[in-house]
Chains A and B, each alone.
Chain A
Amino acid sequence: MPRRTMIEAIRDAMDVSMGRDERVIVFGEDVGFFGGVFRCTQGLQAKYGKSRCFDTPISEAGIVGSAIGMAAYGLKPCVEVQFADYVYPAYDQIVSEAARLRYRSNGDFTCPIVVRMPTGGGIFGGQTHSQSPEALFTHVSGLKVVVPSNPHDAKGLLIAAIEDPDRVIFLEPKRLYNGPFDGHHERPVTPWSKHELGEVADGHYTVPLGRAVIRRPGAAVTVLAYGTMVYVAQAAAEETGIDAEIIDLRTLLPLDLETIVDSVNRTGRCVIVHEATLTSGFGAELSALVQENCFYHLEAPVVRVAGWDTPYPHAQEWDYFPGPARLGRALVETMEA
């Protein structure tokens, strides 16, 4: 099976979708002729023409707002916001409009759009190229929120998102674009070509939204992770020798609660990890759900390992980023509790 980077997998997902359905339209800043600042849309304009893949003015509200109008017409726009850190000008359009259009019009109008945006830190991106704003979207009823962790899933989830009848916020951990990353910044990075999840089938396939996957089966503690943190969790388990069961959530909303509850009820312990800041982060929701659903099986308090409640710093990158050492300590503490 061909191996692809996450960038290539994402591009392939759009290519496949555009080839299958002429209603699929791709646009955003630098997305057209240039092929995107991360190369995710490279070649699409040449292949499908400027009506299907084009550059936009630098206006996130304009990108998402026009996409909503196109969706109301009957197209299926898959648009890009260059960095998740720059989605805020479009927040009104996403929250007030895209998320509610079906509900408020009782299905008279729908909004099958995908908003792709590179997310996450670990790249010395500083304050405005590192944020993980997923909790700002999981709090919005009507949205779906997806965070892939590898090329295979990225392609399958993106095709599923494009085909979904509703709006999907598709957060791409840019730290994983070229290879998996476990937080060991002192070591060289392995490319996806050397990783089994870099195997991406040609043609059409989907990974269903709303389903988590167990990346590492284990019996001692459940780790809930997504995006880059999946690899950090794997490193932490290996380095501590703790038999952790690592769940890659893949879709945060709607959430695969069944897989989570089943795992925690078996392990009796749960550690949640995300890059986003702690307070009111998505981990708080996960923690509450575990507590509500697994209370009588829990043998230790649910622990959250997250980014500190500060803006994402530059020089202090590795003091901020929740790496395997910090997660490892939390795993040990949870086992001793």
Chain B
Amino acid sequence: STEESDPWWKAFSGVCRDMKLQIKLEIFPAATDSRYIRAVRHPAIGFSPMNRTPVLLHDHNEFLNEQVFLRGIDIYAHLLSALASVPPLPAEA
């Protein structure tokens, strides 16, 4: 879910807002392992923190810039802090 009322999405999007990351919501144009995770009813978001990077998956000369890579670590550190601190959900109380 990408509703603000969803606690996971609230945590994810809150980090993006705090870090001033512009995000674009999309449907993944191919298939990946998320489909199996979602099929057993767990919410999942597909995210690789690579902006300013040409789309070169499966292509020749696939590369990633080290600064983009390092910023991604910073982004995940914030995302993990927020997601792993989501307060107990009603079902968990």
Q: Do A and B bind each other?
A: no
Chain A residues with CB under 8 Å of chain B are: none
